[in-house]
Amino acid sequence: MNPSPIRWLRKRVQYGHEEYQKNGLAGAREGLLTTWRAIFHELNAQYIRRIGNPGHSIYERDWDVLVVLDACRVDLIREIADEYEFLEEIETFYSNASKSSTWMERNFGGEYADETANTAYVTGNPFSRMLSGSEFAYFDDAWRYAWDDDLHTIPARPLTDSAIDVWRNESGVDRMIVHYMQPHVPFVSEPELGSYNGPEDFGDGFNDLWDQAGYTLPADQVWDAYRDNLRYVLDDVRLFLRNVDAERVVITADHANAFGELGFWGHPPDMLLPSIRRVPWVVTSGVDSGEYEPTVDRSGQIHDDQAVTDRLQDLGYV
């Protein structure tokens, strides 16, 4: 926020007036929402700077395998829990971050270096570029070789295959994290939501999907696609659980998504909204039936900065 609150407020009022002149009441609403979001975001950031960041590290809980469903809400997974036999009791966990990159910073290395060193991390999230693979017992940033350019995301199956292969065959791994990208946008079942065509279209696509929800996009349509994206990844989680021996598997999320609460959508950084920070915590187990033989091809990895940036843009990040 501007060091001079009065000057900053005047600029926001001017912005709201200009939006009203251009777009009438809809513009005035957008101006007010933008101002409110900026104020609330600044208050969040000041709280974290002065009081400290609330939430818990994943290593404060007991698990053998942690399945991370990126951007999954508690109420979303509860809606479809009766469709999956392994979703028996859905508890909650207060995440220490509202964005994947911050979640990685706060959970890996540092005070958790010993735990990280005994953990295999199989991830579809391109923010893993900020991590050092040498800090882990095994590190597979699968998005580097299994990205789907048509879907603008990484499908679930390459992660499932890699994770089964690692858990069966890699020695020296005490724990494993499997970080799926779904139900995070893009929505596999409705890729047209967001009207995304490519990195050059960024700003009119998935990054704005949550701002469009409830306005140019019906909120119930977005919710239905969001829920279908969760079903899509849970189908693979079911396959995974039938092909690993693990006594304590926990299904959780790095963060969730706001869905209109206090005027917010998506998951802005440094947000303390419970709808974003409160994530599922489901305890189950895995038994390896041996029924499935994964197909793993880790060749063709990309490492250039522009390709990494493009993949983050596909997911709605600047």
Q: What is the CA 237 to chain-centroid distance, rounded?
A: 16
The one-digit pLDDT tens for each residue of the chain (318 residues) are: 445 555 655 565 565 556 556 656 555 566 677 777 778 888 888 888 898 889 999 999 999 999 999 999 999 999 999 999 999 999 999 999 999 999 999 999 999 999 999 999 999 999 999 999 999 999 999 999 999 988 888 999 999 999 999 999 998 899 999 999 999 988 998 887 754 444 334 334 445 677 777 677 888 999 999 999 999 999 999 999 999 999 999 999 999 999 989 888 889 888 999 999 999 999 999 999 999 999 998 887 777 667 767 777 777 665
Tokens linked to 250: 């926990």
Query: Structure pTM?
Result: 0.86
In this prediction, residue 6 carries a pLDDT of 53
Q: Please report the pLDDT score of residue 309 as a whole number.
A: 74
Q: Which residue has the tokens 């990844």?
A: 233
**Alpha carbons 113 and 290: distance in angstroms, whole number:** 33
Q: Tokens 């208050």 sit at which residue?
A: 43
Q: What's residue 239's pLDDT?
A: 98
Q: How many CB atoms lie within 10 A of CB 291?
A: 8
pLDDT of residue 218: 87
* DSSP one-letter string for 145-209: HH-BTTTTB--HHHHHHHHHHHHHH-TT-SEEEEEE-TTSSSPSS-TTTT---SGGGTTSSGGGH
What element of type H or E holds 140?
A: strand 138-141
Q: Report phi then psi at 17, rounded to 5.
A: -65, -45
Q: For residue 90, what are the β-bridge partners?
A: 282
* The predicted structure's pLDDT at residue 58: 98
End-to-end CA distance of the chain: 20
